[in-house]
Structure 1
């Protein structure tokens, strides 16, 4: 084969490859948060057969935690959790949110005698759950899983104010992976989930679902009553770090459908 013929074939092959390769940034997220778009929340249930629960489920999350729907449940007891102070973790940009993934045993909590291990945590801006119709500026989800892969999630609400110390330690890592879907960085020295959870004892409890596809139901939700604070710059960082279109990564409120919503108050508070 002549050199000129070989060069022609190589050039043709390169041209075909350029046509077949996706353009930079052209990859589309599997789901999105912008209402009225093909991949918006109202369409999640029809995007994939395995996501049908997002559209037809009767125990979906998040919900509005309304005072008239609450039942006092002092017998639920204090949250029984034990987290490890220096847990190995990586900060991951999932495109639709920023996640802290625990790469070992970070501890966990016990609910009704069942142990749930902490697997990951992530943030939503603004909050997904509402309290008496009010949505807050941010919500942290601490995702736990038991031996049967059943989930229990602790939700923590935030309003703009003083900086959040847990998030403050992670800021350099979030900056490094900002706007880079799939990028991750290991946290030097690990993280302390106890700082994220805080020490509040009052909480809401109900049965719901994951708030992203596949919207699996049977999730035990614990939403901490005390509202924490996050600085305006920290909130802006989380919004800027995700892929465009996910700055407001909050699912619309779902119907309660007569579900029981419990409020745990210690007996000492009930008797005062």
Structure 2
């Protein structure tokens, strides 16, 4: 990492640690509020109005570190440092329909990602259709979020983008579970997160949860490589959620001058 870029990044991490305290509990609260908001734009309960639904969600409208954003080349700084260290492994998991999305939750130790000497344990993953992040203004058909938490309750999320094409191997192994998922947890046995494939150049920035309460202080890592997914797989994810959540993506947010770092090497 070049000196100036490294200084900026470390300052951002310090700022993140001081001003964005433990967000583990507020992330969990997202599940309980699924019926009180929607993704339908230009409605009272849609993304533009989330901050008015609940006082705890005010940051959805007032925050300066909201996600997702457009990852445009115009605001990217090239970094030559090590981006992260992935240490995933198979672990027992369950699948659950949260109404607004389908989530796979690991009940055993599925490993971690290490970012600047901080370990973030893999907790769960879920999908958004279409993608929430865009790259140079381009939206994709699907986005996977791999959610991690540190020992101090901080979050790091990895975003993987998909376009229509060949079936995705990771989703293929979960397809029966997705099609038969209910509101209660369903045991799906051992799930290997490495099968989601993370070898790619990446973007990184400081953002937020992309659903209420929109809590800020999330370290986002979005892969540049776009994977493929079949129409059957996208349809299964859409049909499994509650009516009205077939489209469950928040529009891109104002970056407010935030830095985006581009790591130009594989993990």
The alignment's TM-score, normalised by the length of structure 2, stands at 0.85
Q: How does 1:97-176 map to 2 (within 5 A)?
A: 97-176=101-180
| Structure 2 residue 88 is the aligned partner of structure 1 residue 88 | no
Q: Quickly say closer, same or farther: Cα 1:28–1:130, change in 2 above 3 A.
A: closer
- Once residues 34 and 69 of structure 1 are traced to their aligned partners in structure 2, the CA distance between those partners, rounded to angstroms, is 29
Unaligned runs of 5+ in 2: 1-32
Per-residue deviation at 1:199? 4.0
- Once residues 56 and 205 of structure 2 are traced to their aligned partners in structure 1, the CA distance between those partners, rounded to angstroms, is 24
- Once residues 218 and 102 of structure 2 are traced to their aligned partners in structure 1, the CA distance between those partners, rounded to angstroms, is 21
**Does the 8 Å contact 2:34/2:100 carry over to 1?**
no
- Once residues 208 and 168 of structure 2 are traced to their aligned partners in structure 1, the CA distance between those partners, rounded to angstroms, is 27
Secondary structure, aligned partner of 2:122: strand
Q: Quickly say closer, same or farther: Cα 1:98–1:28, change in 2 above 3 A.
A: closer
Give the total of aligned pairs: 234
| Structure 2 residue 63 is the aligned partner of structure 1 residue 63 | no
Secondary structure, aligned partner of 1:166: helix
RMSD of aligned alpha carbons? 1.5
**Does the 8 Å contact 2:198/2:223 carry over to 1?**
no
**Does the 8 Å contact 2:203/2:262 carry over to 1?**
yes
- Once residues 171 and 198 of structure 2 are traced to their aligned partners in structure 1, the CA distance between those partners, rounded to angstroms, is 17
- Once residues 184 and 155 of structure 1 are traced to their aligned partners in structure 2, the CA distance between those partners, rounded to angstroms, is 24
Per-residue deviation at 1:78? 4.1
- Once residues 256 and 44 of structure 1 are traced to their aligned partners in structure 2, the CA distance between those partners, rounded to angstroms, is 18
Q: Deviations over 1:117-172 (max 9, x none)?
A: 00100000000000000010000000000011110000000000010111111111
Name the counterpart of 1:191: 191
Q: 1:79 aligns with which of 75, 84, 94?
A: 84
Per-residue deviation at 1:28? 7.6
Stretch deviating more after TM superposition (137-146 or 39-48):
39-48
Per-residue deviation at 1:183? 2.9
Per-residue deviation at 1:175? 1.2
Name the counterpart of 2:215: 216
Unaligned runs of 5+ in 1: 1-26, 268-272
Per-residue deviation at 1:40? 0.7
Q: How does 1:231-246 map to 2 (within 5 A)?
A: 231-246=230-245
**Does the 8 Å contact 1:78/1:201 carry over to 2?**
no
Tell me which structure has the larger Cα radius of gyration: 1
Q: Deviations over 1:215-254 (max 9, x none)?
A: 1111000001110000011011111111011111000110
Q: Quickly say closer, same or farther: Cα 1:199–1:35, change in 2 above 3 A.
A: closer
**Does the 8 Å contact 1:155/1:223 carry over to 2?**
yes
Q: Deviations over 1:8-59 (max 9, x none)?
A: xxxxxxxxxxxxxxxxxxx981211011222111111111111111110000
Secondary structure, aligned partner of 1:234: helix
- Once residues 99 and 138 of structure 1 are traced to their aligned partners in structure 2, the CA distance between those partners, rounded to angstroms, is 14
Secondary structure, aligned partner of 1:50: helix
